[in-house]
Amino acid sequence: MIRVMGAGAFGTALAVSLAERGPVTLWARDVGHAQEMARARRNDRRLPGIDLPDAVTVVSGPIEPSKAEATLLAVPAQTLRSFCTEHAGGLANGAPLVTCCKGVELATGLRPSQVIAEVLPGAACAVLTGPSFAGDIARGLPTALTLACADAAVGQRLQAGLSTSVLRLYRSSDVIGAELGGALKNVIAIASGAAMGAGLGDSARAALMTRGFAEIVRAAEAMGAARDTLSGLSGFGDLVLTCTSEQSRNYRFGLSLGRNEAFDPGVTVEGAATAQAVCDLAAREGLDLPITQAVMMLVSGRLRVEQAMDMLLKRPLKEE
């Protein structure tokens, strides 16, 4: 049995896909939402049009210890600490915890696996990340993801237990690279969306993606990531997807910034907090991350898109 904590779009999609392998428990924070899903056998609030398979059981309330093979944590990066703290007793059952969020904790600059290590010391932890949209996974469209785990034996078991006929997992031992690739690409997706929303064109977006990838590599390597990981699914692959599709919440948020339009405050945009957290880290490490800094200033309202682009274009000329 697999447990999925978080009944947002991605958590629900994972539950739907993994039901192919056997029983799945899908936990929702809101009791009313859980009852609604259990009755309708759908999650129309977050993932409309997708039926929940019979193998999916929807629950809410206090999380109890279970004999689950793995627990997937599909909760936002900025609430992961409070979630794990509140439900520590139900999570500390020996089963691996698999984080599915893509971000850096704003208050501490810690990656999700580091947050878990602080709150639940000794827990086996892995990371599930890569280029994927909830709707594609839920509809059974082919998707490839990275499953990163420092413990090779645990990683192998999770890879076998979480792969399905259409969800293909590639194993990695580079947890740092997998987490930072997934987190930092959200920042570049905001920049790409802002450029397109402001009508700056595809060439500007291509430049932002390319130079943004160079920033991702520079920042992640400085924090201990392997360059090869960043060139894979959890880095470059995820960057391409989220910078080119309006299915990406971070890209849509950037579009709204570029168009000077309001954005739904109820939609989680992990890249906004990550931009600030990474700028703080960059200042401490002496890293030059101009696109990330521009996004941070855009999100905080200190720059307009035109000003941000002007700031980037006026940087000194250099070799690539």
pLDDT at 93: 78
Burial zone of 288 (CB within 10 Å; 0-12 exposed, 13-18 middle, 19+ buried): exposed
Residue 260 resides in a domain: yes
Q: Which of 67, 185, 314, 318 is catalytic?
A: 185
Does residue 228 share a domain with residue 210?
Answer: yes
Closest CA to 69 of 90, 87, 94: 94
| Residue-wise pLDDT tens digits, 22-66 | 999 999 999 999 999 999 999 999 999 999 999 999 999 999 888
Q: What is the mean pLDDT of residues 5-12?
A: 98
Q: Round the average pLDDT of the chain to a whole number and report it.
A: 96
pLDDT at 92: 81
Residue 318 resides in a domain: no
State the Cα–Cα distance between residues 277 and 27, nearest whole angstrom.
29
Range of the domain at 155: 2-173
Does residue 24 share a domain with residue 143?
Answer: yes
pLDDT above 70 covers what percent of the chain?
100
pLDDT at 254: 97
pLDDT at 314: 83
The verdict on whether 185 is a catalytic residue reads: yes
Does residue 153 share a domain with residue 86?
Answer: yes
pTM above 0.85, yes or no: yes
Q: What is the mean pLDDT of residues 148-173?
A: 98
Does residue 147 share a domain with residue 117?
Answer: yes
Q: What is the mean pLDDT of residues 107-123?
A: 96
Q: For residue 197, is pLDDT > 90?
A: yes
